[in-house]
Every structure is written in C-alpha cells, then in structure tokens.
Amino acid sequence: MNATMSLESVKHYPVMLDTVLSIISPQHGGMFIDCTFGGGGYSKEILKFSNTKVIGIDRDDLSEQYAKKIEKQFPDRFKFFQNKFSNVKEIIKLNDNPRVIIFDLGLSSFQIADSRRGFSFKSKGPLNMEMGRNSCSVYDVVNKLDGKDLTKIIKVLGEEKDGRKIANQIIKTRSKKPIQYTNELVSIIKNVKKDYKKFKRHPATKTFQALRIFVNKELTELINGLCEATSLLKEDGILVVVNFHSLEDRIVKGFFKFYSNSNQNPSRYIPKNNISKNSDLFKRTTKKPLKPDEKEISNNIRSRSAKLRFGVRNNNLISTCKEIKRKFENYLKIEEIRV
Ligand SMILES: C[S@@+](CC[C@H](N)C(=O)[O-])C[C@H]1O[C@@H](n2cnc3c(N)ncnc32)[C@H](O)[C@@H]1O
C-alpha cells in the first residue's frame, strides 16, 4: 500500500475463525479478551451474540481506528485499550474474570500492506517495523549494533544460518552510508545468499522476521502475555493462541506442555526440585496444533503457517512463571540487548 491508498482497500481475513469460534462458543456469552485486536476480526464475530462482552487490546495505533467504530456500535459491550498484551492484568481491573482470552500473534494484513511501516521486504519503505511505541526501530538496529549482537539477533531470532555473513555485510555497507530502506537491506541479504533463486522462500524472510521480533520484543511479550492471561482465567476459562512461526510455536507449545502436567520438566537444565507442585494450570490442552484447511489456505495464503493451540484452565493459582522464563532465557536475553 502507498500513501494514497486507503486501508479499506486491504482485504483482511481473520485466521481460522471458524475453529476459534467452535472452541470459544460465544453463543454461551461471557467476557472475552481479544489480546491482538488487529482489525477486530474475532471481536466482531463474538459481539454478534448479545450476551457477550469484549475487551480488545492492541499495541498499534492503527487498530484504534477500527476499534472506535465498534465502540460506537457496542458502547456497553466493547472497550478497546491501546497497550501491550503483557499488561493485560493491569488493563483488566475487573471483578468479572474473562471466560476466554485469545492471542492471534504476528502482524495484521493492514500493517504488512502499509509500506510506510517497513514490515514487508516486497516493497520499498523506511526501516521501521515498530508495532507500537518502542525504544528502537530497525533503522537503529542495523545502523548501530555491533557485529556480535547483530549476528545473534539474525541467527537466533531469525533461525538464519547465514546470520554472521549477513551481519558482516550490513556493517560493511553502513560504513559507507547509513542503511535507510527495506530494499537496501534486501539487496545486502541477496548479496550474501547468492543461491536464493533455488529456494521457494524470499531470501530476506528470516532476517526481516528476526529484526521485527527484536524491535518489538515479541518473545518477551509472548511469554509474559501468556503468564498474565493465564492468571486471569478462572476454572474452565479458555486460552487460545494462534501463532505463525517456529519460535512462537516452540514457546506456546512449551507453555501448554509444561503447565498442563506438573511432572513435566520444561528443561533438563532446571533441577526437578525447583519446579513447584502446582505448576499445572490447564486441565486440558491440544496435544497437536490445529491448522487451517486447504480451502482457507487457498483463500488467504498468509494462513498457511498458522498453528492453533488452546488450553482449558483448572483452578490452581499461577505464580511467577519462572520455569518457562528460564527455559527460554536465551531469547529473553537477546531481546534485552540495548541499542
Ligand atoms: C494477526 S493480527 C490480529 C488480527 C485479528 N485477529 C483480526 O482478525 O483482525 C496481530 C495483531 O496483534 C498486535 N500485537 C502483536 N503483538 C502485540 C503485543 N505484544 N501487544 C498488543 N498487541 C500486539 C499487532 O499489532 C496486530 O495488530
């Protein structure tokens, strides 16, 4: 999308909508929290049932314009907060516990389509990629960080085997002049991954993913968001998470696996006696992730990597989630790198 196009022209499909609705059964009413409101795809469907209330959260200003329309339509049943979902507990100062909390991770079609945001490697835009108000942008990361930190980010958060080479090439290029636009970064990556034509995926996919995750501290947000959301759910409350890449899925899978069975040790590095007895928080979880069907994938190609996992809460109290934070401390430490 360029500056003259309106967001209305962007098509947005809420991913795995039917599956989400069949799990959360909005017809039974109750309080729902849509932690990743985006364009309101899920919220709007839930609000069709008059016995529901929805709280929408999104860190992006862009979502506010969609939310305002819904707030006008349902002033008593819908409220929007522009905030990070890791703050969900602070936002929801309610006596009324939510029955369902949903996370649909990643980016909305609106964010990707707007070239001014710099999320897409397919169009020229500034190196930004901030979802909300952050402490740094991709411009800062690629122009200021040293080779060691840049390599770590690209290798670990992008699972990019050529991370070191790409980082070195970035440093070489920026020594002549700052790297400003997405297309410059794409050329740098293509220069390193010379055999890219052999592969189906765009050569910049992994590096862009790494940089986006880093500037938005997405994995720290995810771990804290899951812990906070789980603590808000009462017995039989449902936590639904749709994720789009392997790092997210590893965390979501690890979270449900560990907290649904107190005998599970999330990591061989954690001594057994450091695991609290009440660490199981879900009485039921998906063993295997649910995925979109062929029809949905052919209608909306972005849904192809979606994986949905959910859990049904028991009544154990949540503590600090220290076990899951320790298991993924490598990611958390990388996201703490200062720019
Ligand atoms: C895939 S979209 C959600 C689309 C939405 N389900 C719909 O149907 O319109 C993900 C949204 O989550 C938001 N988001 C990502 N991380 C967030 C965080 N940590 N806190 C709040 N919102 C976040 C993004 O800004 C984006 O709008």
Residue nearest to atom 4 of ligand 1 (CA): 38
**CB of 221 sitting under 6 A from ligand 1:** yes
User: Are 200 and 236 in a shared domain?
Assistant: no
Nearest to 112 by CA among 20, 38, 214: 38
SS (H, E, C) 32-96: EEECCCCCCHHHHHHHCCCCEEEEEEECCHHHHHHHHHHHHHCCCCEEEEECCHHHHHHHCCCCC
Structure-block tokens of residue 39:
């364009």
pLDDT one-digit tens code per residue, 7-37? 567 888 999 999 999 999 999 999 999 999 9
Give yes or no for residue 39 CB within 6 A of ligand 1.
yes
Regarding whether 303 and 233 lie in a shared domain, the answer is yes
Are 201 and 223 in the same domain? no
Domain interval for residue 208 = 135-215
Q: What is the number of structural domains in the chain?
A: 2
How many whole angstroms separate alpha carbon 304 and alpha carbon 203?
Answer: 18
Q: How far is the CA of 97 from the centre of ligand 1 (A)?
A: 22
Residue range 242-252: mean pLDDT, rounded: 97
- Kindly report the CATH number assigned to the domain that includes residue 71: 3.40.50.150
Residue of 42, 58, 66, 220 with the most ligand 1 atoms within 8 Å of its CB, for mutation: 58
Using the mean position of ligand 1's atoms as its centre, give its distance from the Cα of residue 222 in Å: 11
E strand spans, the chain: 30-34, 52-58, 78-82, 100-104, 238-243, 282-285, 307-313
Distance of CA 223 to the CA centre of its chain: 10
- Tell me if 335 CB under 6 Å of ligand 1: no
Distance 59 CA to ligand 1 centre (A): 7
Would you say the CB of residue 58 lies under 6 angstroms from ligand 1? Answer: yes
Q: Which residue has the higher pLDDT, 189 or 96?
A: 189
Mean of the pLDDT values across residues 230-245? 96
pLDDT at 1: 47
CB of 102 sitting under 6 A from ligand 1: no
237 Cβ inside 6 Å of ligand 1? no
Judgement on whether residues 209 and 237 belong to the same structural domain of the protein: no
Atom 25, ligand 1: which residue's CA is nearest? Answer: 60
d(CA 24, CA 134): 32
225 and 305, same domain (yes or no): yes
Tell me, using a 6 A CB cutoff, whether residue 40 lines ligand 1.
yes
pLDDT of residue 3: 45
The predicted structure's pLDDT at residue 11: 82
- Answer yes or no: is pLDDT of 4 > 50: no
CATH number, domain with residue 194: 1.10.150.170
Domain boundary among 186, 215, 244: 215
Condensed to tens digits (0 to 9), the pLDDT of residues 104-145 reads: 999 999 999 999 999 999 999 999 999 988 889 999 999 999
42 lines ligand 1 (CB under 6 A): yes
Nearest CA residue ID for atom 12, ligand 1: 36
Examine the domain organization and report whether 228 and 94 are in the same domain. Answer: yes
Residue 139 and residue 87 in one domain = no
Which range is least confidently modeled, 108-112, 248-252, 276-280, 335-339?
276-280
